A and B are shown apart, each in its own frame.
Chain A
Amino acid sequence: MNIDNNGFYGDFGGAFIPEMLYHNVNELKENYLQIIESESFKKEFKYLLKEYVGRPTPLYFAKRLSKKYNTNVFLKREDLNHTGAHKINNTIGQILVAKQMNKKRIIAETGAGQHGVATATVCALMGLQCIVYMGEVDIKRQAPNVARMKMLGAEVRPAVSGSKTLKDATNEAIRDWIANPVDTYYLIGSVVGPHPYPDMVARFQSIISEEMKMQLQEKTGRDYPDRIIACVGGGSNAAGAFYHYLGNEKVELIAVEADGLGITSGETAATTQVGSEGIIHGSKTLLMQNNEGQITEPYSISAGLDYPGVGPLHAHLFKSGRGTFLGATDQEALDAAYELTKLEGIIPALESAHALAALRKIDFNANENVVINLSGRGDKDMETYIRMIQ
C-alpha cells in the first residue's frame, strides 16, 4: 500500500507537472524523507503535537450512539485539536519541513478556510510570511475563517479564475510557486498534488491511526477495530485514519464521499462514483471530468469535501477494492450532525457528519468495534446548521 519509487500507488500518483515546477518539486522529493525521519524533526514534531495541538486526541466510546446502532462506536476526536480539525497535524509537519529547507515565504490554498487557518496559525507560530489563496466565491461564504486568517497575519488572495473555488485557489497557489521558486514553500492541505505531497501529508496525518492503535489496545484489548469510517474530499483525514491499517485486511476501511444532492443529480462531489481516471493538480487519480478531459465543478454542502478529485491513495484503495466507498447526501449529513449533537453533545463539522451518516448504511454485528474519524468540529458550520434547522 506504499508508494513506489516514482510516487505511484498502483496506477495512481506521480508528478505530472510543467518544467517550471520540476526544480521545486524535485527539491522537496529529494529532501522530505531525510528531513522527516531525522531524530531532531521527530522530536520537535511530537513536541508541538503534544504541547501546542493538544494531542493525543481522545478515542471516545460513544455510548448512546453505540446503543442506537447496536454496536461499539468510537469517535476519534480530531475536532479537539487546536484550530478545530485534523488539518493542523499536517501544517505543523510541513512548516517544520519548510524551515529545514530555509524557505521564508509560505503559500497555501484553502476551500472552506480550515487548511488556510491551520497554515496561518503555524506561520504565526514560526514567524513566517503567509499567503493563502482562496476562491472568491469561498471568501464570501466563509467570512469567519477569512477573518481568522487575517487576524493571524496571513494575506488572503482571492482566486478569480474559473469557478472561483478550491480547484482554482489550488491553480493560483501553484502559479505563485512557479513565479517564486526560490524562497517559497507550497504548503498543500491534503493528500493531493504531485509526488511527494500525497505521501508526505499521509505520513503527517498518520498520527491519527498511530494513536488509535494504542487506544484500541487499551480499551478493547486489540489494537485494531473491525471498521474505520472517514469522510473523503481530497482525503487527508481518511489517509491518516487508515494509514497504519492499510496492510491489515481484518480492518474494513470505509471512505464516505459527499453525494451532494445525489450522485445522479449533477450536483455531487462523489468522485469515485461519477469520476474517471485522469490528471488533476499534478497527480494521476480519479477526478470529475467531461469526455474532453475538462475538469468539472463538484458540489457539496460541505466546502471541505467540495473537490473534483481524490488523492491517489484513495483512487488506489477504490480500484483495488481494499477500500469500501460509500456516499452521504447533504441531507443525510445534516441528519447525522443533529443526531450526534443530540445523543452525544458534540457538534461535528459538516465534513465529519458525512462519515457519521454511514452508520445508517451499514449492517453491524452486535459486538463490532467501529471507529469514526471525527475530523473537525462544527463551529464553522453554525450558519448552515442554523439555516437548515429553521
Chain B
Amino acid sequence: MKRIKETFQTKNNILNIYVTAGFPKLNDTVEIVQELARNEVDMIEIGMPFSDPLADGPTIQNSSEIAIKNGITLDFIFNQIIEIRKTVSIPIILMGYYNQVLQYGAKSFFKKAKRVGVDGFIIPDLPLDIYQKKHKTILNDLELDMIFLITPQTTDERIRLLDGQSSGFLYLVSSYAITGSKSDLQQNQIDYFKRIQNLSLKNSKLIGFGISNKESFNTACNYAEGAIIGSAFIKALKDSNNLKESISNFVKGIKG
C-alpha cells in the first residue's frame, strides 16, 4: 500500500505505463520495466495475458495472444517481478482478469503477489460485491490496493461507492471506447473529467484509455493526478528493433 500512496504524495503528473508480460519476447519484460524505471516513469502496470480480455482493445489483445504463445504463466510473471524488484522501486500493479485469479486460487494469488513485490491490482471483471465479500479482508491484511474503474456512464452515486472501496487510486476510463481506439480527448470527455473533479473523491485519479501522446497526457494531467498509457506503448514495442532506445524515446516523447 505504501509505494502507491507515497508516489501520489510526492509526485505530480504521474505517468503509469502498461506492459503486457511476456511480450514481445517471453523474457523481455524484466528489461522493459527496468528501462521504464530508468527513464523515470512513475508507475508500472503489468498485464497478465488472458485469452478472452473483454476490456482490452485489439492492440493489447494481440500482444496477449503473442505472450500466451510465448508460454507466459502467472508463476513466470511472479518470477519476473522478483527480478524487477532487485533494481526497481516504483509501484507495480498487476492487471488481469478474474478467471486467472480464481484458477490460481485467489488467496495464493494475492499472497504470492505480495511476496514478490506487487502493490495493487486492476481486475476489471471482478464485481464490487464479490470483492467486498470474498477478497477485501485479505487485501487489507496484506496492505495491497484494489483499483476500480469508472466510466463516463458511471453515476455519481456509484462513483462514490467505487471510491469508497478503491484504494491506491481510481482509474478513470476516458471514454466509451475500449483501449487504444481514440487519438485525442474530446470536449465531452473533458466535461466528464470536470464532473469527477467536482465530486471531491478520497482517492487520487489516473486517466486511462485513449492517452497516447504528450498532448493527451498533458490534458489528462490537468484533470487528474496523471495518466496511464497502454496501447500506444505496446505499439512502440511491437515496432521496435532496439527496446532500450524505443523505450527511452517513447517516455521522452510523453514527459520530455
Given contacts A292-B74, A293-B99, contact A20 B151 (CB under 8 A): yes
Q: Is the CB of B65 within 8 A of A19?
A: no
Q: B124 contacts A19, CB within 8 Å?
A: yes
Total A-B residue contacts, Cβ distance less than 8 Å = 107
Is the Cβ of A295 less than 8 Å from the Cβ of B127?
no
Q: Are B51 and A295 in contact (CB under 8 A)?
A: yes
- Against A, the Cβ 8 Å flags (1 = close, 0 = not) of B94-109 are 0001111111100000
A292 pairs with B73, CB closer than 8 A: yes
Chain A residues with CB under 8 A of B126: 16
Q: Is the CB of B65 within 8 A of A16?
A: no
Of residues 180 through 203 on chain B, the ones whose CB sits less than 8 Å from some CB of chain A are 181
Neighbouring B residues of A162 by C-beta, 8 Å: 51-52, 61, 65
A264 within 8 Å of B by Cβ? no
> In the docked arrangement, what's the CA distance between A171 and B181, Å?
16
Residues of chain A from 14 to 54 with CB closer than 8 A to chain B in the complex: 14-23
Number of residues on chain A facing chain B (CB within 8 A)? 34
With both beta carbons as reference points, the residue of chain B lying nearest to A168 in the complex is identified as: B52
Known: A278-B99, A279-B98. A15 touches B177 (CB 8 A): no
Per-position 1/0 for A84-122, Cβ under 8 A of B: 000000000000000000000000000000000000000
Asked whether A293 and B181 contact (CB < 8 A) given A23-B151, A181-B153, A278-B99, the answer is no
**Most central of A161, A162, A179, A293 by chain B CB within 10 Å:** A293
**Measured CA separation A174–B150 after assembly (Å):** 18
In the complex, the chain B residue whose C-beta lies closest to that of A17 is: B125
Chain A, 319-357, CB within 8 A of any chain B CB: none
The answer to whether residues A18 and B55 also contact, given A23-B154, A179-B176, A293-B50 and a CB cut-off of 8 A, is: yes
Closest Cβ of chain A to B211, distance in Å, is 16
Q: Mark B164-177, 1 if CB is under 8 A from A, else 0.
A: 00000000010011
Instruction: For residue B218, give the distance in angstroms from its CB to the closest CB of chain A.
Output: 25
Contact A20 B173 (CB under 8 A): yes
**Contact status A178-B178, CB under 8 Å:** yes
A258-281 Cβ-contact flags toward B at 8 Å (1 or 0): 000000000000000000011111
Alpha-carbon gap, A20 to B97, bound state (A):
14
Which residues 52-92 in B have Cβ within 8 Å of A in the complex? 52-55, 57-58, 61-62, 65, 68, 73-74
Tell me whether A18 and B149 are in contact (CB under 8 A): yes
Proximity string of chain A (164-208) to chain B, C-beta cutoff 8 Å, 1 when within and 0 when not: 000100010011001111000000000000000000000000000
Residues of B contacting A20 with CB < 8 Å? 55, 124, 149, 151, 153, 173, 176, 178
> Given A279-B98, A289-B103: A19 and B148 within 8 A (CB)?
yes
In the complex formed, the residue of B with least CB distance to A290 is: B103
Q: Determine how close the nearest CB of chain A comes to the CB of B151; give it in whole angstroms.
A: 5
| Residues of A close to B125: CB separation below 8 A | 16-18, 279, 282
With both beta carbons as reference points, the residue of chain B lying nearest to A167 in the complex is identified as: B52
Q: What's the nearest-Cβ distance from chain A to residue B209, in Å? A: 9
**Given the complex of chains A and B, what is the CA–CA distance between A282 and B52 in angstroms?**
11
Given A16-B127, A19-B149, A295-B52 in contact, is the A178-B98 Cβ separation under 8 Å? no
B141 within 8 A of partner (CB): no
Q: Does B129 contact A (CB under 8 A)?
A: yes
Bound Cα distance A291, B73 (Å)? 10
* Complex contact B173–A294 (CB within 8 A): no
Which residues on A sit within 8 Å (CB–CB) of B162? 19
CB < 8 Å neighbour of B99 from A14, A23, A171, A280: A280
Chain B CB count within 10 A is highest, among A171, A291, A292, for A292
B62, B97, B151, B162 — most chain A CB neighbours (10 Å): B151
Across the two chains, which residue of chain B brings its CB closest to A174? B54
Do A17 and B104 touch across chains, with their CB atoms under 8 A apart? no
Contact status A293-B103, CB under 8 Å: yes
Contacts of B102 in A (CB 8 A): 277-279, 293
Task: Report the Cα distance A21→B151, complex, angstroms.
Answer: 9
> A166 CB to closest chain B CB, in angstroms?
12
| Contact, CB under 8 Å: B124 / A18 | yes
Query: Does A6 sit at the interface, judged by CB under 8 A?
Result: yes
Chain A residue contacts of B55, Cβ below 8 A? 18, 20, 178
Across the interface, which residues of B come within 8 angstroms of A289, CB to CB?
99, 103
What separation, in Å, do the CA atoms of A282 and B99 have in the docked complex?
10
With A19-B150, A20-B151, A292-B74 as known contacts, state yes or no: A280 contacts B177, CB within 8 Å.
no
Q: Can you give 13 A-B contacts (C-beta < 8 A)? A: A14-B130, A16-B130, A17-B54, A18-B55, A20-B151, A161-B58, A167-B52, A171-B52, A180-B176, A278-B102, A279-B99, A279-B102, A296-B51
A-binding residues in B (CB < 8 A): 50-55, 57-58, 61-62, 65, 68, 73-74, 97-104, 124-127, 129-130, 148-151, 153-154, 158, 162, 173, 176-178, 181
Q: A17-B54, A161-B65, A295-B99 are in contact. List 6 more A-B contacts (CB 8 A).
A: A19-B148, A20-B178, A22-B151, A22-B153, A292-B74, A293-B97
Closest 5 A/B residue pairs (Cβ):
A293-B103, A18-B124, A23-B153, A18-B55, A19-B149
